[in-house]
Structure 1
Amino acid sequence: MKYQKLENQETQWKWLYLSKKHREGENITRYQEKSLVEDKVKALIACKNQPEQINAWITAHLSEALVIKLDQAIRARRKRFFNAEKQHTKKKSIDLEYAVWQRLSKYSRKLGMTLSQTITYMIDERESKALYQNKMSVMKASLKDLLK
């Protein structure tokens, strides 16, 4: 396993995930009866800061459809949590219009690079072009001074 499991932290993430799903109107329990669902959800909400009770609730009452989704969500959250500790692995995001993303994606495939590598490459190319233009203008100015 690449990332260390922190039981209390992950139990808190599970509680947050399940409470969010419930707020969104999804049935997080394996029961269909509304009053039973509400009772079980209230029990889950009440044990917010008790990891053992949360894990027991998940084992006893979690919907079968959410078992895999919960595991995937926790695995992704664990990865983001540990990657965010170091600057070079922390992910950032930017908003692109679809047409811009499409052009960047096509250019990335052409270069055989990731989107991040392509953006870095384009910035480096622009900086070196500006440096070259600056050197050329200095050389032209000094050449004009020589010819006077």
Structure 2
Amino acid sequence: MKYQKLDNQEANWKWVYLIKKHRDGINITKYQERSLQDNIVLQLLDYQNNPQHIEEWIQQHLSPDLVIKLDQAIRARRKRFFNAEKKLTKKKSIDLEYSVWSRLSKYSKKMKMTLSETISYMIDERESKALYESQMTAMKADIKDLLKLKD
């Protein structure tokens, strides 16, 4: 396993995930009867700061439809948590218009690079071009100065 499991923290993440799903109107329990669902969810609400009870609640009452989704959500959360500890692996996000993203995506596929690699490549190319242009401008100015001295 690449990322260490932190039982207390992951239980809290599971609690937050399940409560959010419940507030979105999704049945998080394996029960169909509404009053029973409400009672079971109230139990979960009471367990907020008790990781062991949260895990037991999940084992006993979680909807079978959410088992895989919960595991995936926690795995993703664990990855983001540990990657955020290091500056190099911490993910940043930017907002792009769809047309820009589409062009960037096509260019990335053509170059066989990730979007991040493509953006870095394009920035490097632009910086190289700017450096080349400044060197050319300086050389032209030097040549003009030399030509003026000959006269």
**2:104 alignment counterpart:** 104
Q: Secondary structure at the match of 1:88?
A: coil
Q: Which runs of 5+ in 2 are unaligned?
A: none
What residue in structure 2 maps to residue 82 of structure 1?
Answer: 82
- CA shift at 1:12, angstroms? 0.3
State the alpha-carbon separation in 2 of the partners of residues 138 and 113 from structure 1: 35
Q: Which amino acid aligns with 2:13?
A: W
d(CA) in 1 for partners of 2:95, 2:73: 23
Report Cα offsets for 1:81-138 as digits up to 9, x if no partner.
1111111111111111111111111111111111111100000000010001001111
Unaligned 5+ segments in structure 1 are none
SS of equivalent residue, structure 1 residue 2 = coil
Once residues 37 and 112 of structure 1 are traced to their aligned partners in structure 2, the CA distance between those partners, rounded to angstroms, is 50
Moved over 4 A (4+): none
Matches within 5 A, 1:1-148: 1-148=1-148
Query: Structure 1 length as normaliser, TM-score?
Result: 0.98
- Return the alpha-carbon distance in structure 1 between the equivalents of residues 69 and 106 of structure 2: 32
- TM-score w.r.t. structure 2 length? 0.96
Deviation at 1:146, TM superposition (A): 1.0
